[in-house]
Amino acid sequence: MDEILAVAYDDVVAARGRISGAARRTPVLTSATADALAGGTLLFKGENFQRAGAFKFRGAFNALSRFTGEQKAAGVVTFSSGNHAQAVALSAKLLGIRAVIVMPGDAPAAKVAATRGYGAEIQFYDRYTEVREELGAKLAAEQGLTLVPPYDHPDVMAGQGTCAAELFEDAGPPDLLLIPLGGGGLLSGCAVAAHALCPDCEIYGVEPEAGDDGRQSFRSGRIVTVKTPQTIADGAQTTHLGRFTFPVIRALVKDILTVTDAELAQAMRFFAERMKIVVEPTGCLAAAAVFAGRLDLAGRRAGIILSGGNVDLEKYAGLIC
């Protein structure tokens, strides 16, 4: 437990200072119907209302804010299934930095359009045959750009941790905290904040059942890599945890849970119908786990991060109807 982790609580505090003028302080939402369904008190942190539509703005803005003058002059490159791309593109625009984004050719049209709309240059790749990390590294080397990856970077992780810190401040420390899991930037950053601010809080990551590399890694103690998972949770189609995120998750998280695509769609429908909010499939991971009864919440307060709200409307309609 005393292993040196890549992110400390002080880094999360520093990140809060850097992003405070730029990021939105998103609301904590509640619903009596949701509480009845889950059998406990649910505190939803609405990152679907964050700038660019997901929590990823926090980590991206924090990382880009720390660039040196030389790095700012050359620009940033990143790879992403969408939300990190928009977050970097918007952060770069706000900070006056050139951005090049490596995106899968099948990324949702709304995400591609939004990224372009922020003035970023897009480089497409095939997510089933090409390795995005390699393409990103090549562009970085050729053009002197600084690579800001979507999750495995201490500044990104610290930025994501601000989300949990705000939740605790606004709603008080919960008994449990459930967090969507892809590569683990959000989970690791929030776990660091939780460990400092509510040390008794149980922290769970929730990932798609089709890609349970996080659970396999957590249980085996080494980073397990899976094939690109086929799931509607496109923000969690990661194949492995990161070398910085994994040790934090191993040290501070209680367990990793999984949910099916059907359970995600059901949660999306609940948010649309009962709470009148659009939450994307990946953003529903944590909520779907409690609605599906994965944990006993009787008499307990659970913090749940709704991590994003970016989804093509046609796809959305197909899933909720």
Would you name the residues annotated as active-site residues?
56, 81, 207, 211, 213, 307
Interface segment toward ligand PLP; rule CB under 6 A; list 124-132, 178-186, 194-202, 259-267: 178-186
Is-contact 316 278, C-beta < 8 A?
yes
Identify which of residues 74 and 147 has a Cβ nearer to ligand PLP in the complex: 147
Q: Which of 108, 174, 211, 235 binds ligand PLP (CB under 6 A)?
A: 235
Distances (CA, A) of 74 to 19, 34, 58, 155: 22, 48, 22, 19
User: Considering only CA atoms, which of 184, 202, 158 is closest in space to residue 294?
Assistant: 202
Decide if residue 183 touches ligand PLP (CB under 6 A): yes
Among 60, 77, 97, 187, contact with ligand PLP (rule: CB under 6 A): 187
Closest to 164 in 3D by CA, of 15, 294, 37, 264: 15
How many residues lie near ligand PLP (CB under 6 A)? 21
181 binds ligand PLP (CB under 6 A): yes
Q: Is 204 in the site for ligand PLP (CB under 6 A)?
A: no
User: Residue 72 or 255: which CB sits closer to ligand PLP?
Assistant: 255
Give whichever of 79 and 151 is closer to ligand PLP, judged by the CB atom.
151
Rounded to a whole number of angstroms, the minimum distance from the CB of residue 174 to ligand PLP is: 19
231 binds ligand PLP (CB under 6 A): no
Q: Contact between 236 and ligand PLP (CB under 6 A)?
A: yes
Q: Exactly one of 154, 159, 161, 180 binds ligand PLP (CB under 6 A); which one?
A: 180
Binding mask 82-121 for ligand PLP (x = CB under 6 A): -x--------------------------------------
For residues 132 and 78, what is the distance between their CA atoms, to the nearest angstrom? Answer: 9
Q: Is 149 in the site for ligand PLP (CB under 6 A)?
A: no
Q: How many other C-beta atoms are found inside a 10 Å radius of the C-beta of residue 174?
A: 23
> d(Cα 54, Cα 75) in Å, to the nearest integer?
23
DSSP E strand boundaries for 170-215: 176-180, 202-208
Nearer to ligand PLP, 143 or 152 (CB): 152
DSSP assignment of 245-262 equals HHHHHHHH--EEEEE-HH
Q: Does 184 bind ligand PLP (CB under 6 A)?
A: yes
Nearer to ligand PLP, 74 or 275 (CB): 275
Buried b (16+ CB within 10 A) or exposed e, 48-82: bbbbbbbbbbbbbbbbbbbbeeebbebbbbbbbbb
Contact positions with ligand PLP (CB under 6 A) in 117-146: none
45 lines the binding site for ligand PLP (CB under 6 A): no
Shortest CB 256 distance to ligand PLP, Å:
11
Spatial contact of 115 and 103, defined as CB atoms under 8 Å apart: yes
Bridge-based pairing state of the strands 121-125 and 41-46:
unpaired
Query: Which of 183, 201, 189 minimizes the C-alpha distance to 163?
Result: 189
Q: Which of 28, 213, 282, 295 touches ligand PLP (CB under 6 A)?
A: 282
Which residues are at the interface with ligand PLP (CB under 6 A)?
Answer: 54, 56, 83, 150-151, 180-187, 235-236, 238, 280, 282-283, 307-308
